[in-house]
Amino acid sequence: MIESFDGFQRPMHIAIQEDKIYVPEYTSDTVKIIENGTVSTLTLKKNTDAIAGIAVDGNTIAVADFYNHRIIFQQDDKVTIIGKEGHNDGELYYPTDVDLKNDLISVADAYNNRVQVFDLKGNYVRMIGWNENIKVATGLKVTDTQVIIADFEGNRVLVYVFKW
């Protein structure tokens, strides 16, 4: 182990950009940034209720706002709310993780048992994982060619080869 940072309140799905580690705190509804051995707090422009995951790309930030059943998408000073509580396409039921890739926002939609993909304006694009009977989609990583989903209750990890 190189370093240890203590005092976090239920840290969840982290993001890394350059030399910064972004740590969402589920209990305190804050995002902490670890950089150069110090911890600071990121200011979000909307109130949250249990931040479960975060994605960062430059000045663009997306957070999974678990109990509010939504994604807060923040680009510089502009904020877009993505999703609302529900079970239809474009609606979320306890999002747990989020990733930004190829101008798309992918969301681990935990208790809807799927991953949903939105464009940067918040429009629904597609759904992934429904046919594989995901039990609870909790973790998510998107690369240029793959979508990787942790199925918490299914005790498995699904890897999809994807052409964006």
| Helices and strands (H and E) in the chain: how many | 0, 15
pLDDT tens by residue, 58-105: 999 999 999 999 999 999 889 999 999 999 999 999 999 999 998 999
Other beta carbons within 10 angstroms of residue 154's beta carbon come to 16
> Which CATH number does the domain 15-161 belong to among 2.120.10.30, 3.50.50.60, 3.40.50.300, 3.30.300.210?
2.120.10.30
Q: For the chain, which residues make up each domain, given as ranges? A: 15-161
Residue with tokens 């080869």: 161
pLDDT tens by residue, 123-157: 999 999 888 999 999 999 999 999 999 999 999 99
pLDDT of residue 164: 64
pTM of the model: 0.93
